[in-house]
Each structure stands twice: as C-alpha cells, then as structure tokens.
Structure 1
Amino acid sequence: MLIRRFLLGAMFAALIAPAATAQEMPVYFEADGAALAGYDPVSYFKGDAPVQGQPKYAVVWKGAEWHFASAENQEAFERDPRAFAPQFGGYCAYAMAKGILVSTDPLAWQVVDGRLYLTHSPEIEQMWREATAEYIRMAEAHWPVVLYEQ
C-alpha cells in the first residue's frame, strides 16, 4: 500500500498542469476551452453521475465554455454560477491541498456541503475521500495563492 501511494504520488506530481497566471486561467479547462470536459456542472447536483452537456446550451464564464444538458440547467448556472462551478477553479482539490495545480477528471468528483470538488483520477479521488474535510481545509489555505504564484 505504501509503495502504491508513493507511485501514485510520483505520477501525480508529473501531471502538474501547465503554469498560468490568474488572469489567463482562473478555471481549469480542456484545450478546446470546455470546462469539465463538457460535462454539465448543474448535473453533479441532480443525480448520481454527471451528464455530458451540449454545445447548443453553452455559457462563457471565467474564460471557459460551460456546457449544459438542458436550457433549464443553463439558466440555473447563469443565475448563480458559483453555486455550481467546481471549487478551486476546477483544478484537482487533492493537489490543491498539497499546494499544486493539477488537471482533473470530471468523473472523479464529490459534492460536499453543496460544493463540487474534482480530483485528477479515480485513484486520487479514493485518497481524497480518506480525509476529505482535512484536504478541503488545506486546499482552501492554498487557494488562490497557488494560482497567483504560477
């Protein structure tokens, strides 16, 4: 188990997201500009799994394009985007707890106290879930300082 964690940690460190300034990239998004790889941010709060959004229901917010599965979800996001957007700009919450920026897998997630947290992978998500409250506290202490240091 210790060796597995070491190897995951080493892999994780190698996957640090490209450097960015807060002005350039306050939200993590894919090369095509889609936040959450096109998944509907509102859907994370409505069911057991996120739903892929459609480009016809899209909003540009914080430099990224957010896709929605329906006009209803798009309207909900437009009314209050911070209620649905992932914490830490959509960067990996576990990595933010360690003070680094790392990409995320939109299928490795958790909603805690009405907030969406993403992690880099299902394996990292498992480690995140072992001490979620502590990792949230640590990540909040690093955010947005880590973003500005890039």
Structure 2
Amino acid sequence: MKALMGLLLLFVSGTVLAGDAIYTGFFSNKALDGYDTVAYFTEGKPVKGDSAYITEYKGADWYFSSKQNRELFVKNPDKYTPQYGGFCAWAVAAKNDRAPGDPLQWTIVKDSDNTPKLYLNYDKKIKQRWEQDISGFITMGDKNWPALLVN
C-alpha cells in the first residue's frame, strides 16, 4: 500500500509542477518557502517572511519580513522574483527539467545590464555544480525555461 501511495504521490506531484510559473512545494502555496524575496537583495541573506506581510503574485503567496519589503515587491515583482520561478536553476539549465529550489541555496548574479537576479538551487551539492559555470548555466537555463513553463 505504501508503494502504491508513493507512486500516486509521484504522479500527482509531477503533474502539479508542470507549467507552474512559481515553485511552491507540494503542500503549500508559499513562494520561497515563506522567505522574503526582497531581503536577498536588501539584506544579502535569506530572511523568513511574516504572515502579517503577504501578497499574491502568479498564483503563489509571497511572504515578507516588513511592510516596506512587501511594497517594494508589489511595485516591481519581476525585479525580486527568483529566476525560473524559484525552481532549481541548475536543473533547469543542465537537465532541462524542474526541481525544487531551496531558499537557503541561493546566488545573486548581475546580468549583462548589471541588474541583479536571484537564482536558487536544489541543495548545497547542486549549488557547487552551479558555481562551476554560472554564466553557461544561465545561458542554457534562459533557453530552456520558456518550454518548461508550458509543459
């Protein structure tokens, strides 16, 4: 029975992930597992959001550590939304697939316009792979991501 439930969960989970623009996990609607996406840019570290400061964007609930951070996000959500919707950047690039992004395994990279972008990775080991060729993985990820949005 456990094996059957595991297979069912795997099938349903893959179906739920297909086409989602923002990674929220299987049993939650929280983007970045409730971490404040603006804080990565303003404080240079992950900061847990507070349930008093929430907004909805692209079907996900975004939590913030302050009213000011929530207002910054609402004014320009694309500036603060993690690339590839918070899915693992390495998986999107190297495997042309989706995997959960861990808000504690993150990198901010400036693009060609000197605009900082937030990328998440699955875990510490995958982040180390990502760090071996960040610019190459971003090039591949940017190419792969649009098709992953519709599949």
TM superposition shift of 1:148: 1.3
User: In the alignment, does 2:110 pair up with 1:108?
Assistant: no
How far apart, CA to CA, are the structure 2 residues paired with 1:48 and 1:135? 22
How far apart, CA to CA, are the structure 2 residues paired with 1:40 and 1:51? 6
Equivalent residue runs for 1:20-31 within 5 Å: 20-22=17-19, 25-30=20-25, 31=27
Task: Indicate if the aligned counterparts of 2:88 and 2:120 stay in contact, CA closer than 8 A.
Answer: yes
Unmatched tracts of structure 1, length 5 or more: 1-13
Cross-structure match for 1:125: 127
How far apart, CA to CA, are the structure 1 residues paired with 2:97 and 2:117? 20
Cross-structure match for 2:7: none
Which amino acid letter does the alignment assign opposite residue 38 of structure 1? G
Unmatched tracts of structure 2, length 5 or more: 1-9, 111-115
Equivalent residue runs for 1:79-90 within 5 Å: 79-90=75-86
Cross-structure match for 2:57: 61
Identity among equivalent pairs (%): 36
Task: Indicate if the aligned counterparts of 1:101 and 1:147 stay in contact, CA closer than 8 A.
Answer: no
Task: Indicate if the aligned counterparts of 2:18 and 2:148 stay in contact, CA closer than 8 A.
Answer: no
Task: Indicate if the aligned counterparts of 2:101 and 2:120 stay in contact, CA closer than 8 A.
Answer: yes
TM superposition shift of 1:122: 1.0
User: In the alignment, does 2:142 pair up with 1:140?
Assistant: yes
- Give the alignment's Cα RMSD to 1 decimal: 1.4
Task: Indicate if the aligned counterparts of 1:92 and 1:119 stay in contact, CA closer than 8 A.
Answer: yes
TM superposition shift of 1:21: 4.0
TM-score, normalised to structure 2, is 0.83
TM-score, normalised to structure 1, is 0.84
How far apart, CA to CA, are the structure 2 residues paired with 1:112 and 1:62? 23
